[in-house]
Amino acid sequence: MPRRSAAKAAATPPARFELGGYWLWYRANRDDWAICWLDGRTTRRVQTGIGGGSSGHPPEAAKERLAEFVLEQKAKRSALVSSAPVPPTEVLLQEVVAQWLERHVSELSDGRRYADSVLNWERFWDQLRRQNQLPDPLVVSAINGRIVDAFIGFRRAEGATPPTISRDLAALRCPINWALKEEIITSAPRVKDVKGKDARKELEWSPEQVAVILEAAWANEARRHVHLFTLIHCSTHGRTEAIVELDADTQIRDGLIYFNRPGRVQTRKRRSIVPICPTLAPWLKDVRGKVIRYRVPTSDKTRAAGGPQFYERPTNEVRNAFRGVLLDAHARRPDLGFAKQAMDEAGRKLWLPPREKLRDQERRPKLQAIGSPNTLRHTIHTWHQRQGVPQAQIDAAAGHSSEQGSGANYTHMRPEYLREFIASTEAFWRAVDEHTSVHRRPIP
What pLDDT score does 305 carry? Answer: 85
> In this model, does residue 388 exceed pLDDT 90?
yes
- Residues of the chain within CATH 1.10.443 domain(s) are 207-433
> In this model, does residue 68 exceed pLDDT 70?
yes
Contact (CB, 8 A) for 225 and 315 = yes
Mean local confidence (pLDDT), 181-191 = 90
User: What band does 437 get if pLDDT is binned at 50, 70 and 90?
Assistant: very high
Picking from 83-87, 208-212, 311-315, which range would have the lowest pLDDT averaged per residue? 83-87
User: What band does 314 get if pLDDT is binned at 50, 70 and 90?
Assistant: confident
What pLDDT score does 403 carry? Answer: 52
Burial of 163 (0-12, 13-18, 19+ CB in 10 A): middle
- How far is it, in rounded angstroms, from Cα 59 to Cα 264? 56
User: What band does 1 get if pLDDT is binned at 50, 70 and 90?
Assistant: very low
Mind listing the pLDDT tens digit for each residue in 85-108? Answer: 889 998 889 888 888 887 787 666
Mean local confidence (pLDDT), 283-302 = 88
> In this model, does residue 41 exceed pLDDT 80?
no
pTM for this model (two decimals):
0.60
What pLDDT score does 3 carry? Answer: 43
Position with higher pLDDT, 2 vs 194: 194
Mean local confidence (pLDDT), 394-413 = 64
Contact (CB, 8 A) for 42 and 98 = no
- How far is it, in rounded angstroms, from Cα 210 to Cα 186? 51
User: What band does 118 get if pLDDT is binned at 50, 70 and 90?
Assistant: confident
Mean local confidence (pLDDT), 344-352 = 76
What pLDDT score does 7 carry? Answer: 40
What pLDDT score does 2 carry? Answer: 41
What pLDDT score does 13 carry? Answer: 44
Which of 342, 302, 312, 20 has its CA nearest to residue 156?
342
Q: Output the average pLDDT for the chain.
A: 84
What pLDDT score does 216 carry? Answer: 96
| 207-433: CATH, from 3.30.70, 1.10.443, 1.10.20, 3.40.50 | 1.10.443
Which phi and psi angles does 274 have, rounded to 5°?
-130, 135
> In this model, does residue 190 exceed pLDDT 60?
yes
> In this model, does residue 189 exceed pLDDT 80?
yes
User: What band does 11 get if pLDDT is binned at 50, 70 and 90?
Assistant: very low
User: What band does 274 get if pLDDT is binned at 50, 70 and 90?
Assistant: very high
User: What band does 21 get if pLDDT is binned at 50, 70 and 90?
Assistant: confident
Out of 49-63, 137-151, 407-421, give the one with best mean pLDDT. 137-151
Which of 324, 344, 328 has its CA nearest to residue 336?
328
Which of 56, 55, 52, 46 has its CA nearest to residue 31?
52
Which of 279, 300, 272 has its CA nearest to residue 423?
279
